[in-house]
A and B are shown apart, each in its own frame.
Chain A
Amino acid sequence: MAINVKVLDRPVGQVSYVRATLKGMARTFKHLVNPEKVTTQYPEQKETISRRWRGTHRMLTTETGKAKCVACGLCPTVCPANCIKLVPGEDEQGNRYPLIFEIDEFRCIFCGYCQEVCPEEAIHVGRHYENSEYSREGFVYDLERLMAQTHPVCEMWDPADPKGE
């Protein structure tokens, strides 16, 4: 036998177009009158984001209002996207501080290595996602801009608490 076709005798309910249509219309009507909707009214309502969300950066400051950064150069070294520009400087007491600290947020891939590698807990990725600028240059954040950010920062993955609970 060349042809070996299995012919299925389907129940009438599955091949009846009218009954299937009526069933479908009952289903859609149930959703139509269902008051529970899934829409988030975005600018007014916001979805909660994860505590490990990695967004645009923030530089933390000391009590005196200076950047915690000591210009050790670890973050530009570890950065896989090469988006951090750091020029170190030194004051009279021999304390190192960044002369220039710039992050190109367009190049950044938001891996969070900079926050992880930072010995002073100075640079952080932020829990923040609403970014808009009028020019591409606006997305190169300088030190002043990074220090001025106020949004909460990311809590990095903790091996002791893998699910972040």
Chain B
Amino acid sequence: MISAAMLAIVHATPDPPLPLGVFFISTVVKMVLVFSVTMVGVALLTLAERKISAWIQDRLGPNRVGGKLGLLQPAADGVKNFMKEETLPGHVNKPLFVLAPMLAFIPAMLASAVIPFGAPWDSRWGRIQMVVADLPVGFLFTLAITSLGVYGIVLAGWASNNKYALLGGLRSSAQMVSYEIAMGMSLIPVLLLAGNVTLNNIIDQQASMHLWNVLTLSLSFFIFMVAAFAETNRLPFDLPEAESELIAGYHSEYSAMKFSMFPISEYANMATSSALMATLFFGGWDIPFTLQDNTTGVSIFMVLLSIGIFGLKTLFFLFLFIWVRWTLPRFRYDQLMSLGWKFMLPAALAYIVIIASLMLALDYAGLERGFVYGLVMLAVNVVLVFIAFVILDRGRIISPAYGRATPQQLARLRAVTAARAHLSPQSGD
């Protein structure tokens, strides 16, 4: 497998470099485009969250500002947040208190830089990649940057000097550390299949196989998705800001725009995770049901279409984030930890072994890396998904509230009680 990965890297011929002026202008345009789309998208996401939550609860949602859909509501919220009084409580650690929102915001914005949002455009000046920074380290960069976001939250909790904020920060760090491992592990099968961490290569691999990774690596996708929910602190993993227990968790003491920074970074993280899920498992900007070869030149029309397709896939996951939020209740802390460490991590590790052995077997059998290869993997995945969600998922993935005792547990409990009764005979019956 390692040799295959190295071969893939060696064979990936780099594009001829663009003229400096074209490179500079195209990069600036892409930066401005990605940044503004992310920011406007985040603003609209807050509206989407309110609208969808309202519709799910049979309400109408914001409809007073900007027409029936309340399209100007994010602008009104923004103006409100800028105009609001900013309180700086006397008991906070001021430098860290000010630093924390920035630390939450910057990684959230940075992570979107490496995600390819469209097919490369063969312009008359050369091939322009539709990504701000075409990093060779690919999703490793995204994972590294998104995991920095936890510092903002932990520092916010610590600097607030407030017990609820501190608890929120602690929970967040524990949660992020636990789920980051499962997230990283769930991406190793993707790496095995693509032989490269570069996101564009992963998209090309999915396109050449004519099967998206969600079909060939279903369990990986599931683990990645759950970990992404945990990493972005979205329900059912919103323990860091659990309103009912911790008031607002790590951002209890924040107000005005400093407070806004936290939701903005949360939504930006959501957008990044959605884009990453679409890229890694749903073929990215690859236009479904087309058999075009992505390595050859494509017209500007196809580039725009691929950007639209990528946007649609990302929007679907954003909708999924919101949909799940308004469906599921929050986990208990022990459920969160046991899901992360006792199910997701072992499942991810076992899945790596299974996929690696399967690919080794298929390679030995002399099967070409193509559609049939993918179909065999799909068949194995159907079995694995059945095992995971029908056989394993019987109160084991998430421990249910009432807890079903096994005969062994019952015997142990009885032994303990009998020993107690023996020690203090007056209390026993």
Residues of A within 8 A of B (CB): 1-3, 5, 7-10, 12, 14-19, 21, 24-25, 27-29, 31-34, 36-39, 41
**B292 an interface residue at 8 Å Cβ cutoff?**
no
Q: Specify which chain B residues have a CB less than 8 angstroms from the CB of A12 in the assembled complex.
A: 394
User: Which residue of B has the minimal Cβ distance to A23?
Assistant: B327
**B389 an interface residue at 8 Å Cβ cutoff?**
yes
**B400 an interface residue at 8 Å Cβ cutoff?**
yes
Q: Specify which chain B residues have a CB less than 8 angstroms from the CB of A34 in the assembled complex.
A: 58
Q: Specify which chain A residues have a CB less than 8 angstroms from the CB of B389 in the assembled complex.
A: 16, 18-19
The complex places the Cα of A121 from the Cα of B390 at a distance, in Å, of: 74
Check A28–B59 contact: CB distance below 8 A: no
Check B328–A21 contact: CB distance below 8 A: yes
User: Which residue of A has the minimal Cβ distance to B414?
Assistant: A3
- Interface with A: B49-57, B119-127, B240-248, which one? B49-57
The complex places the Cα of A31 from the Cα of B418 at a distance, in Å, of: 52
**B324 an interface residue at 8 Å Cβ cutoff?**
yes
Check A37–B58 contact: CB distance below 8 A: yes
Check A15–B400 contact: CB distance below 8 A: yes
Assuming the contacts A32-B55, A39-B59, asked whether A3 and B328 have C-beta atoms less than 8 A apart, the reply is: no
Check B60–A41 contact: CB distance below 8 A: yes
User: Which residue of A has the minimal Cβ distance to B55?
Assistant: A32
The complex places the Cα of A2 from the Cα of B52 at a distance, in Å, of: 52
Q: Which of B366-408 contact A (CB under 8 A)?
A: 389-390, 393-395, 397-398, 400, 402, 404-405
User: Which residue of A has the minimal Cβ distance to B339?
Assistant: A17
The complex places the Cα of A92 from the Cα of B405 at a distance, in Å, of: 93
Q: Specify which chain B residues have a CB less than 8 angstroms from the CB of A21 in the assembled complex.
A: 324, 327-328
The complex places the Cα of A3 from the Cα of B428 at a distance, in Å, of: 11
Q: Specify which chain B residues have a CB less than 8 angstroms from the CB of A2 in the assembled complex.
A: 414, 417-418, 421, 428-429
Q: 10 shortest A-B CB distances, which residue pairs?
A: A15-B395, A17-B398, A2-B417, A39-B60, A28-B327, A16-B393, A24-B327, A28-B56, A32-B55, A18-B389
User: Which residue of A has the minimal Cβ distance to B417?
Assistant: A2
Q: Specify which chain A residues have a CB less than 8 angstroms from the CB of B428 in the assembled complex.
A: 2
**B6 an interface residue at 8 Å Cβ cutoff?**
no
User: Which residue of A has the minimal Cβ distance to B236?
Assistant: A21
Q: Specify which chain A residues have a CB less than 8 angstroms from the CB of B414 in the assembled complex.
A: 1-3
The complex places the Cα of A98 from the Cα of B290 at a distance, in Å, of: 89
The one of B57, B326, B410, B418 in contact with A7, judged by C-beta atoms closer than 8 angstroms, is B410
- Identify 9 residue pairs between A and B in the complex whose beta-carbon atoms are under 8 Å apart, listed by A's number: A2-B428, A2-B429, A7-B410, A19-B389, A21-B328, A31-B58, A37-B55, A38-B59, A39-B54
Between B327, B389, B390, the greatest number of chain A beta carbons within 10 A of the residue's beta carbon is seen for B327
**B29 an interface residue at 8 Å Cβ cutoff?**
no
Check A28–B413 contact: CB distance below 8 A: no
Q: Which of B68-92 contact A (CB under 8 A)?
A: none
- Give min CB distance, A35 to chain B, whole Å: 10
- Give min CB distance, B75 to chain A, whole Å: 22
The one of B59, B326, B393, B404 in contact with A37, judged by C-beta atoms closer than 8 angstroms, is B59
**B323 an interface residue at 8 Å Cβ cutoff?**
yes
Q: Specify which chain A residues have a CB less than 8 angstroms from the CB of B59 in the assembled complex.
A: 37-39
